[in-house]
């Protein structure tokens, strides 16, 4: 078999031993077609492939790298911590420092538990919501992703108010039945579900600014309905800020939207590029978690000192330099221009803070149904055009792009020109 690029060869080798050649499905490029690019290094806003081609990176490891890749302060912190031992499996003071820093951004997280991924945060908040409320049902929304735990890999049933069905083989119908999946921004179904299942709902979980179906904002009426439903039935409002945390407002989506959830999930940015997640909220609820309470959750590598050091360096730098605001403003200018000039080519740009999405659709999507109605085929062609021009977007029409402090004006200009050239061709 003749091999073309080094990436193609690397993918061929990977497929012989790794399932699908990857360790996380979207990386396999099934959404956009073609061969995934293998990278060997990254610095600032740029990643270099094994074929020595440079790409402007708008994936940023799916969000964490808000300081850009290999930021000197983060690398230094990792090296310093690693030199003192890579894991203790016992308490260390970095854990308290990272939690304090997180709380300085998210004052409503009165108590915090650090974990190793967003998935762990997701499965833990669901168990906690059930343990605290003594109820079993969870409401989630189509297009929101909260990690791959069983209760959350659930799709909508056939009718609006029916219980959920498994969204993956291996998730049992029994588990799925305790999750109700509704359309994002659909106020009527939220109200209807709360009135039908009032005494059974443990919690409502959502991405308060979505990233996993592209960037979509919740309407005020939708948020009001969620808050009223939770208040009236004693269920918990859970914000999954794993993706939008530290990207839309210095106090998170909850600060931007002025809505205080009972529990918050975080991930990505808080680990500075190393594996980390967190959940937290009102002390009264969090004290149900072991060892204080009866909801069990643990982790051998949770609070790992090297990870903590990377997270502390990242959050400290963001805070000291007010980067959330700066990157948001730069991203907004870029996206406003792109939307204005792109509209006549059928492009809609959505953006909140340092997250944005491009949709080939006449209007800005409000839910997964709208996203699915956008021109995915055109996106995929456009995607490969971007790659040729050295611009790396998430390999799926359903994802958000991310920016960093390393994305300079000239990088935005190059991206803008490239997108305009591609639009005029298609
Ligand atoms: N929640 C959200 C909103 C996410 O975007 C993700 C991952 N993309 C997760 C949870 C799961 O995080 P992880 O991949 O770290 O398990």
Distance (Å, whole) CA 370 – CA 209: 16
Ligand 1 atom with the smallest distance to the CA of 268 is 15
Q: Return the active site residues.
A: 145, 240, 268
pLDDT at 156: 80
Distance (Å, whole) CA 251 – CA 265: 13
pLDDT at 285: 98
Checking if the pLDDT of 426 tops 90, the result is: no
pLDDT at 3: 60
372's enclosing H/E stretch is helix 368-372
Atom 1 (ligand 1) nearest CA? 146
pLDDT at 52: 98
Which residues have C-beta atoms less than 6 Å from ligand 1? 62, 117-119, 122, 145-147, 207, 211-212, 240, 242-243, 267, 277
Tokens read off for 79: 């090296």
**Pocket mutation for ligand 1, best pick of 121, 123, 145, 209 (most atoms within 8 Å of C-beta):** 145
Q: What is the pLDDT of residues 153-187, one digit of tens each?
A: 998 877 656 778 899 999 999 999 999 999 999 99
Measured CA to CA in angstroms, residue 31 lies from 218, 328, 378 at distances of 26, 28, 12
Tokens read off for 158: 């056939």
Sheet containing strand 401-402, strands side by side: 348-352, 355-359, 401-402
Rg of the chain on CA atoms, in Å:
21
**pLDDT category of residue 1 using cuts at 50, 70 and 90:** very low
Ligand 1 atom with the smallest distance to the CA of 144 is 3
Distance (Å, whole) CA 38 – CA 6: 8
Task: Tell me how far the alpha carbon of residue 314 is from its chain's centroid.
Answer: 17
Q: What is the pLDDT of residues 290-324, one digit of tens each?
A: 999 999 999 999 999 999 999 999 999 999 999 99
pLDDT at 139: 97
**pLDDT category of residue 425 using cuts at 50, 70 and 90:** confident
What crossing angle do the helices spanning 93-105 and 305-321 adopt, rounded to 10°? Answer: 30
DSSP 17: T
Checking if the pLDDT of 42 tops 90, the result is: yes
Query: How many angstroms is it from 203 CA to the middle of ligand 1?
Result: 18
Q: What is the pLDDT of residues 335-384, one digit of tens each?
A: 999 999 999 999 999 999 999 999 999 999 999 999 999 999 999 999 99
- Beta strand spans in 58-151 (E): 111-115, 137-141
- Positive/negative CA dihedral, 312, 316, 319, 323: negative
Q: How many CB atoms lie within 10 A of CB 79?
A: 11
Half-sphere exposure of 278 (CA within 13 A, CB side): 30
Q: Which residue has the higher pLDDT, 3 or 70?
A: 70
Checking if the pLDDT of 39 tops 60, the result is: yes
Mean pLDDT, the chain, as a whole number? 96
Q: What is the DSSP string of 87-114?
A: --SS--HHHHHHHHHHHHH-TT--EEEE
Q: Which residue has the higher pLDDT, 10 or 164?
A: 10
Query: How many angstroms is it from 145 CA to the middle of ligand 1?
Result: 7
pLDDT at 375: 96
Instruction: Provide the whole-model pTM.
Output: 0.97
Percent of the chain clearing pLDDT 90 (strictly above): 96
Checking if the pLDDT of 2 tops 70, the result is: no
Q: What is the pLDDT of residues 371-406, one digit of tens each?
A: 999 999 999 999 999 999 999 999 999 999 999 999
pLDDT at 95: 98
């Amino acid at each position: 078999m003749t091999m073309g690029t080094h990436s193609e060869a690397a993918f061929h080798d990977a497929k012989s031993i790794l399932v699908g050649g990857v360790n996380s499905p979207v990386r396999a490029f099934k959404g956009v077609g073609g061969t995934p690019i293998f990278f060997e290094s990254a610095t600032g806003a740029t990643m270099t492939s094994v074929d020595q081609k440079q790409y402007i990176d708008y994936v940023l490891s799916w969000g964490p790298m808000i300081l850009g890749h290999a930021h000197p302060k983060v690398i230094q912190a990792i090296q310093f911590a690693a030199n003192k031992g890579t894991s203790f499996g016992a308490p260390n003071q970095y854990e308290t420092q990272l939690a304090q820093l997180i709380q300085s951004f998210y004052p409503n997280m009165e108590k915090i538990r650090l974990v190793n991924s967003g998935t762990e945060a997701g499965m833990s908040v669901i168990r906690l919501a059930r343990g605290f409320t003594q109820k079993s049902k969870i409401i989630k929304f189509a297009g929101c992703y909260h990690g791959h735990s069983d209760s959350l890999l659930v799709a909508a049933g056939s009718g609006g108010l029916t219980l959920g069905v498994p969204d993956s083989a291996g998730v049992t119908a029994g588990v799925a039945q305790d999750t109700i999946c509704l359309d994002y921004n659909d106020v009527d179904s939220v109200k209807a579900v709360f009135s039908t299942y009032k005494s059974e709902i443990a919690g409502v979980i959502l991405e308060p600014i979505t990233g996993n179906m592209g960037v979509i904002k919740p309407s005020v009426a939708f948020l009001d309905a969620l808050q009223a439903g939770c208040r009236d039935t004693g269920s918990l409002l859970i914000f999954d800020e794993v993706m939008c945390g530290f990207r839309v407002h210095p106090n998170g989506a909850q600060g931007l939207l002025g809505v205080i959830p009972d529990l918050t999930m975080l991930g990505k940015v808080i680990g500075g590029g190393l594996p980390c997640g967190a959940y937290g909220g009102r002390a009264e609820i969090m004290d149900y978690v072991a060892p204080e309470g009866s909801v069990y959750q643990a982790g051998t590598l949770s609070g790992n000192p090297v990870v903590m050091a990377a997270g502390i360096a990242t959050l400290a730098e963001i805070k000291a330099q007010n980067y959330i605001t700066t990157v948001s403003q730069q991203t907004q200018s870029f996206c406003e221009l792109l939307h204005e000039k792109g509209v006549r080519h059928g492009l809609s740009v959505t953006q909140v803070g340092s997250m944005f999405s491009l949709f080939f659709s006449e209007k800005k999507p409000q839910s997964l149904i709208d996203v699915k109605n956008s021109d995915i085929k055109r996106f995929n062609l456009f995607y490969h055009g971007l790659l040729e021009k050295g611009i790396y977007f998430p390999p799926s029409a359903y994802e958000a792009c991310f920016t960093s402090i390393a994305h300079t004006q000239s990088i935005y200009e190059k991206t803008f020109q490239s997108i305009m050239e591609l639009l005029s061709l298609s």
